[in-house]
Structure 1
């Protein structure tokens, strides 16, 4: 897909992350935010992130070259002019999104696709009355999208198949990994999967069966190592001699028994939140949260570079892991 103009509406962490994704892929990006100075500040942050990506070996072009493709729009109309695609990344509230989408609808061109970064609100809640509604859908990233490429494409009941196909093609062209839902469901794919793991993690701590640190260690040094390059179905397919059907026969009863123990759905009450908060603050004081977030991003950069090299090796039919001294 040839590079075009991309409008980014909302210049917070998610919006600036999307700007990097599209500018890195060669598109001209216009950043708009209705908060005075927010888009300009986001562009300055983008410059810093691009320097980090260059140092990590994750971009080939000079950061200044990519940054030059990102401009600050003084108005929403300027951001949307001749836009191939618009990525809305405003506050996760139906009233806010509806208001912004109505403004977009009044200004956008007749062939522009509009994606929403909503992490849980289906597009049907804020696009129903729009003239452009057949070109609207959820395009939910993982933050930061320039390091975590997955993007969930979730159509509203009125989203046209052509829109879904076109946005999927665009996302693939800019280096993202799109997944598509056939219809709306609360939490989409990622948060529905994450919700199950989080609910059980909190339940283990609440019942006194494990500490917060040990639950985190189980994922980071166990499940997460495999999940960094395989999904749950491939994981279990490789964990039994006869593949996934064999795994299901061997362990299906265990998972059924676990599920039977966890049918009660409870929210996280203040007492439980305080217990888990206390355990986390023993490990990481609140004052160190920002520094630890930066550490997380550096780890993600290193992992992204490793996965890129391994994917290239897979495509070439070679195995760099089998050769001493390669990465």
Structure 2
């Protein structure tokens, strides 16, 4: 795959994630063929791409959007999208039966050397590729949305995924400007969502127990922990938070975190009443008809931050 830069990339699924992947590959100079079973999603893809690319250009993250858009073509059929493709990024509905049906349909259409990465957020690829002829060439390549602004991609092989498939997808992701993370074996939720899930679990509990409002919990992250986490992970954060580094931090605060964890040894599901109370509080702050506008605001902030990071050393 590393030496196949003239061959197209196929994107199957033209929703938010699929569109994001199309931008990632086209921005890096690759030809992209996009297909979706939904004619409506395909029909409005050019307009959505135009808006996203214009925003990126406005923030100085790309140059002229036109050549990038020109590299992205809409394929009217699955066969057309896969024709000649050296790599396929699947970004369809997060359901095993739907994915399984697609992979079975793709099997006879793929080039013999093509690999397939799934944007699955938590379903291991073994659940929808088992027994298929293409299974050894398939793995999870889970992005953070939108992938053209957030570069991490989790690469998760099934037990039968060929090592060279992982190596090849890893090299491709690096070549197009993403930051691939290798996960040694399958686990539900992978690494990102397992890390991400810990914080909401505690946030829900603190809210349910009446310690803080939603806004104050959010502010604790956005104005406290979040700014550091934007350029450091948890291990580097604690390493820099004690004079003697990570070992000193563990010695000083390990017992505190052990006691905190012990309080949450059993996690109760979010109750319907708790969800309703949280939803009412959020809707008072942000009416539902303004939610899409706030998503645009989020992406604009991410673009501004990405532009800033380009000027800073790692």
Is structure 2 residue 10 aligned with structure 1 residue 31? no
1:88 Cα deviation (Å)? 0.5
Structure 1 residue aligned with 2:230: 228
Cα distance in 2 for residues equivalent to 1:235 and 1:106? 48
CA pair 11-40 structure 1, distance change in 2 beyond 3 A:
same
Cα distance in 1 for residues equivalent to 2:18 and 2:268? 33
Moved over 3 A (4+): none
Cα distance in 2 for residues equivalent to 1:84 and 1:138? 16
Is structure 2 residue 54 aligned with structure 1 residue 45? no
Structure 2 residue aligned with 1:195: 197
Structure 1 residue aligned with 2:158: 156
Is structure 2 residue 251 aligned with structure 1 residue 249? yes
Instruction: Find the partner of 1:167 among 157, 166, 169.
Output: 169
Structure 2 residue aligned with 1:321: none
Cα distance in 2 for residues equivalent to 1:3 and 1:210? 55
Instruction: Find the partner of 2:59 among 56, 61, 73.
Output: 56
Asked if 2 retains the 8 angstrom alpha-carbon contact of 1:16 and 1:42, the reply is yes
Per-residue deviation, residues 101-153 of structure 1 (Å, max 9, x unmatched) = 11111210110010000000000000111111111000011111101111111
Per-residue deviation, residues 146-186 of structure 1 (Å, max 9, x unmatched) = 01111111001111111101101100111111111100011
1:40 Cα deviation (Å)? 3.0
1:296 Cα deviation (Å)? 0.5
Structure 1 residue aligned with 2:144: 142
Q: Which runs of 5+ in 1 are unaligned?
A: 315-327
Structure 1 residue aligned with 2:212: 210
1:210 Cα deviation (Å)? 1.1
Asked if 2 retains the 8 angstrom alpha-carbon contact of 1:105 and 1:130, the reply is yes
Q: Structure 2 length normalisation: TM-score?
A: 0.97
Instruction: Find the partner of 1:16 among 8, 16, 19.
Output: 19
Instruction: Find the partner of 1:99 among 86, 98, 101.
Output: 101
Asked if 2 retains the 8 angstrom alpha-carbon contact of 1:94 and 1:125, the reply is yes
Asked if 2 retains the 8 angstrom alpha-carbon contact of 1:3 and 1:26, the reply is no
Report the number of matched residues.
311
1:3 Cα deviation (Å)? 4.5
Cα distance in 1 for residues equivalent to 2:13 and 2:126? 20
Across the aligned residues of Structure 1 and Structure 2, the Cα RMSD in angstroms comes to 0.9
Structure 2 residue aligned with 1:6: 9
Q: Structure 1 length normalisation: TM-score?
A: 0.93
Cα distance in 2 for residues equivalent to 1:125 and 1:71? 30
1:308 Cα deviation (Å)? 1.4
Q: Which runs of 5+ in 2 are unaligned?
A: none
Is structure 2 residue 82 aligned with structure 1 residue 80? yes
